[in-house]
Structure 1
Amino acid sequence: MLRSRRVGCQTAALGVLFAFSQDGAFVSRVRSLVSHPPPGHGRLWHADRSDRGGRCRRCLGSLGEEVSEAPRIAWSFWDKGKDNLPEFRRLCMETWATQNPGWRIKMLDQRNVHEYLDPNELPRLWPEMYVPWQADAVRLALLAKYGGLWIDASTICLRPFDEWMYSTIASEKAAEGIGAFYFSAWGCEMHKSKEFVENWVMAARRQHPMMVAWKALFNGYWDSKTRADAMSMFLDPPGVPDHPLFQGVDLDHLKRFGQDLRNYLLMHAAFKKLIDQYPEFRRIWEEEMVLIRADDTAFWHMEEPDVKWDPQAALRKWRGPVDSAWLDYVVSSCPVLKFTRDTATLLDQDPGGLC
């Protein structure tokens, strides 16, 4: 099993990588590169490290402790609860804690979510929502209310959050108060523009106006609906493209590669409305949002030519012979690695059989 294969690894991040390798030398290679990236490898992500201190201290009731305007809390959600996380997701979660020892990790689920959020902070139909949309509602509400960083349970962390995003978010000297990755392959100008802001890693100061508006728009759409299960996008018209909230919003970038995701990707559609129809939010997106290109970082291991988004090809790459150039790039240029739903599901089903 994966856990036994990790014996001797000093970090959970290295344990994850070791678990998919057939060569024990891989561990030593990764350990040295994680600590000391090779010279000449320019990082594709940047952050202002000038202020790691907190902002004004306040008590936010349900956390039961003092937190800042930009608390070092990593939020996530697994509907069935942390105790029921598949082993691969547990490994991902361990990397967050190992790389970020000063952070609090909060994994919410359907039972404990109301310890942190009031029902009126979520869509009216939240209890019956399709789980991915439940998670979207939770991430928006948590970041709007408390601030912090959201990370999906299928994401490996290879560098401390502060190193590549959060120190900028938390800095009183920086204008940037919100951050995320963007996937340029789905931008309006393909492979160039930044409209397709991803939601699997997001960060914000508490009550950031853009996050508050994003949550309100998301909730407003669902509060106009009569059902929120997976089939509601087909059986409860109008869908997103025809809904009054999205009139005049160009969502054509959500139809690509033979897929029409305009109904499924409500968070992305809502973000596009904010930057298209509200000049202040467009200014924040253009000038004050920490944006990291996912194509070259978190998704690079899926984008590379011999994988091209094929989950089976991705897993063959992970457990095949060590590719030094591939490894050098990952550990020097990828602060996180995001595993897509199909790939993560394969690992959930039979993690031991993949080693």
Structure 2
Amino acid sequence: MLRSVSVLVLPELAVFEFGVLTEVFGLDRSDDGLPVFDFKVCGPEAGVPITTGGGVDVVPRYGLDALAGADLVAIGATGLRHYDPEVLDAVRSAAAGGATMLSICSGVFVLGAAGLLSGRRCTVHWKHAQELREAHPEAVVEEDALFVDDGDMITGAGTAAGIDACLHLVRREMGSAVVNGIARRMVVPPQREGGQRQFIEQPVPECATDSLSSVLEWMTENLQVDHTVAALARRAAMSERTFARRFTAETGTTPHRWLSRQRVLHAQHLLEETDLGMDAVAHRAGFGGAALLRHHFRRAVGVSPADYRTTFRSPGPASTDSTDSTGETVTEDAVPA
């Protein structure tokens, strides 16, 4: 049972992520029949203000000793990457004492510095994923997850994903009735699956040299065409074998994957900016139909096209042109959609 929660705050604290921890665990909702947590805000020194990244100070009432014995130790996002030995000792001791560890966004770097990420699955905001891998190669970083539950360690990707991580933990430890009550008061969904992808803006992979740039540009402008490796190699004036090898070397991926990604990117744009139906979006993006669009879109983005549109549809007038341009059926030697 989750009864006591100690939140560690450090300089360069991110205000929103700290607010998430306070909102979920620090408010008295007993008037709704919900449990009240023993909630403590802890800093390196009790009573010494912590400067945040939002131009305000947070004054922790408790010191590092209040991490000991807590059921949950939560670490909010911080811009720091180097920490006082006393802070890391307190985090390690709390983990060794049986506390569940929860981090939001860059708070995971504190766990890493304390030596708690070795062989552990974790996540972080996608902007920090490569930094986390380089700083802690012993960690198993799942960069596109909203949150990762690795038993006694839960890591959230950041910002709104921190809400998901906290509510998931409450659901796991205290059941659906409690988490539904908290979520209702927060006016948020009680659950988004951790495996759902972070919405990452992924630019078109660039070519390392100019040798294939004209081919890539032509492919991007003709997503509805039935592209085959043989046809692309002829356009590049190369043998198929040389083209495939050069393509992978210069883009970091295969022609199949590159084309599929561009089609998904174009579908994202259409879902955000137009009112086209799913079949029309599928054809314009180069997929054979709505079913194939859903399959590849969910695999790449982590949600269905319809859910993506609900989340990201731009307000105001949009194109309602329903004219479709369809490509031919992909043949055996084609680059699949």
TM-score, normalised via structure 1 length: 0.24
Which structure: larger Rg?
2
Larger relative contact order (Cα-Cα within 8 Å, sequence gap ≥ 6): 1
